[in-house]
Amino acid sequence: MITQITSIDPLIPKMRHDHYSRRIRSHFQAYGGEYDFCRFFLIKNDEKELGLIALFNSSMLASTFEGCELSADEIAEIIMFIAMNKPLSCELEKAYIPALLEGLPEYKTDKRTQFRYKPRGDSPKLDVDDVPSLTDVYKILASSFPAIANSYELWLTDMSHRVRRGLAQSFLLGDYTTATIQYIIDRVVLVGHVATVPEERGKLHARKLLYWIGERLSKDGFEVILFARPHRVSYYNEIGFEPVGVDLVLERKNDIDE
């Protein structure tokens, strides 16, 4: 059974210590459960509570609780839930993706590698703005991420909201390279939206900024992670990130192909 809830606070002790749970928690800490664009659902059966689903704008995240597994019936219900809500992307534990894919022909999988930064204890000297104008950050991101380029007001509202709550942060190197912390939960930091303006690409700016971020945040006691396509393993290894796992994301075919 999947039922909508307005608070996940009582359920946090049951949640796994993984990316999916942290992402769900970051959405709840940012907005709570009272908005139409940010909704939370409890997965349960007659015996116990099994996990959580979050719908945030056009994306879905799901995570089972510690020690819980989903049965075939529960997977079938999640398939129906996805088919009804039609999120652009669905993230959850890799073990369930093949079964979901069988029941969702309009989706396909995208493989990605999770990386964790391994500090070297050698913080580079780099002139990084760690409290930049979000408008300046957006100008760089818009040159690399088409979805963001068409959603300035939505991106700015969400990002500024999360920054004020200590859930996110942007970094700016010069006026050409940026990277964003997408959540800070349980002293784990997810880095994403790394971009350099076209005329400055190929000059190692992003590599230097990611190394600086990894060293600085590791020194402050944070675990730094990011996700990237598997073919980028050697690139991130050279910076100081090591692969720690591979997961699969469901993405709607029509939206990808168009």
Q: 257 lies in a domain?
A: no
pLDDT of residue 122: 85
pTM over 0.75: yes
**Same-domain pairing of 7 and 44:** yes
Q: 151 lies in a domain?
A: yes
**Same-domain pairing of 139 and 217:** yes
How far, in Å, CA of 95 to CA of 71, rounded? 12
How far, in Å, CA of 82 to CA of 176, rounded? 38
**Same-domain pairing of 64 and 177:** no
pLDDT of residue 255: 54
Q: 59 lies in a domain?
A: yes
Q: 258 lies in a domain?
A: no
**Same-domain pairing of 84 and 211:** no
How far, in Å, CA of 152 to CA of 113, rounded? 28
Query: For the purposes of burial, counting CB atoms within 10 Å of the CB of 109, is it exposed (0-12), middle (13-18) or buried (19 or more)?
Result: middle
**Same-domain pairing of 6 and 78:** yes
List phi, psi (to 5°) of 39. -120, 150
Q: Work out how many domains the chain is built from and give that number.
A: 2
Q: How far is CA 119 from CA 14, 17, 162, 170, 241, in A?
A: 31, 21, 26, 20, 8
Q: 171 lies in a domain?
A: yes
pLDDT of residue 146: 85
Contacts of 166 (CB under 8 A, 6+ apart): 184
How far, in Å, CA of 206 to CA of 196, rounded? 7
Sheet containing strand 169-173, edge to edge, reads 2-5, 38-44, 49-56, 59-64, 89-91, 241-252, 107-117, 223-228, 188-196, 177-185, 169-173, 128-129
End position of a domain, from candidates 67, 83, 105: 105
**Same-domain pairing of 185 and 69:** no
Domain extent for 228: 115-250
**Same-domain pairing of 90 and 119:** no
How far, in Å, CA of 129 to CA of 178, rounded? 10
How far, in Å, CA of 4 to CA of 164, rounded? 27
Q: 225 lies in a domain?
A: yes
Q: Are 28 and 54 in contact (CB under 8 A)?
A: yes
SS3 state of residue 48: coil
pLDDT of residue 9: 97
Contacts of 104 (CB under 8 A, 6+ apart): 79, 82, 83, 250
How far, in Å, CA of 249 to CA of 108, rounded? 8
pLDDT of residue 256: 46
End position of a domain, from candidates 105, 134, 154: 105
**Same-domain pairing of 101 and 177:** no
How far is C-alpha 7 from the geometric centre of its chain's CA atoms? Answer: 21
pLDDT of residue 124: 83
Query: What are the 10-residue block averages of pLDDT along the chain, 258 residues in total?
Result: 97 96 97 95 96 96 97 97 97 95 95 95 90 96 88 92 95 96 96 95 96 96 94 91 95 68
